[in-house]
Chains A and B, each alone.
Chain A
Amino acid sequence: GAVVSQHPSRVICKSGTSVKIECRSLDFQATTMFWYRQFPKQSLMLMATSNEGSKATYEQGVEKDKFLINHASLTLSTLTVTSAHPEDSSFYICSAAPQGINAAFFGQGTRLTVV
């Protein structure tokens, strides 16, 4: 149980385009999901908390207009990187957990390369 699936696992896009990353909870409902980012040779940093049916909460320094988060259902959150630039190239990974479970379950991650 508690499987989180992320898609795509790898994406290359041109500078200026937008990219959508999906995070799905496969066998449970998740009212909250979390999006993290990892730059090369650095650790994971929380970007935002995705809340089902309401606005996402962004961490300090993360541009909400650039990283659009939509959590329209209890099993799906999407992160859209708008007008991507090479500095947005990073590893993006989401997490979620069933209600009442004090742990975090991670998707496989998405490696974004902007050329």
Chain B
Amino acid sequence: KQEVTQIPAALSVPEGENLVLNCSFTDSAIYNLQWFRQDPGKGLTSLLLIQSSQREQTSGRLNASLDKSSGRSTLYIAASQPGDSATYLCAVGIQGAQKLVFGQGTRLTINP
């Protein structure tokens, strides 16, 4: 059974810092990996999608990497801003890519 773990559970940093969120999964047989952002009481915003054949994806200040063999992914956020404060969820696609197993999330707070 696939399990996804995110470390740390919570992170608080000053504005402007670069930071890394970690995600690990137990079964390397994944179709893809997605990083999402969730604001309090809201739905999911897709940030980055990495297909199983890819190593990384970039969007603006965000960069996500994928190492299938070791079962790990990282989300790098450069020059953090208070608006980046949210919960970040990592999810792996199984059984056809659309079915996702989520991690518990990292609650990020960027202090002005």
Q: Which A residues are closer than 8 A to B by beta carbons?
A: 32, 34, 36, 42-46, 49, 93, 95-97, 102-109, 111
Contacts and interface: CB of A to CB of B under 8 A. Distances in A.
A90 to B, nearest CB: 12
Given A93-B43, A102-B32, A34 B51 contact: no
B25 interface: no
A44 B43 CA distance: 11
B46 to A, nearest CB: 7
B93 A104 contact: yes
Nearest to A108: B43
Contacts of A106: 43-44, 46
B97 A103 contact: yes
A9 B7 CA distance: 30
A104 B34 contact: yes
B104 interface: yes
A7 to B, nearest CB: 13
Contact of A97 (B51, B91, B98, B104): B98
Contacts of B31: 102
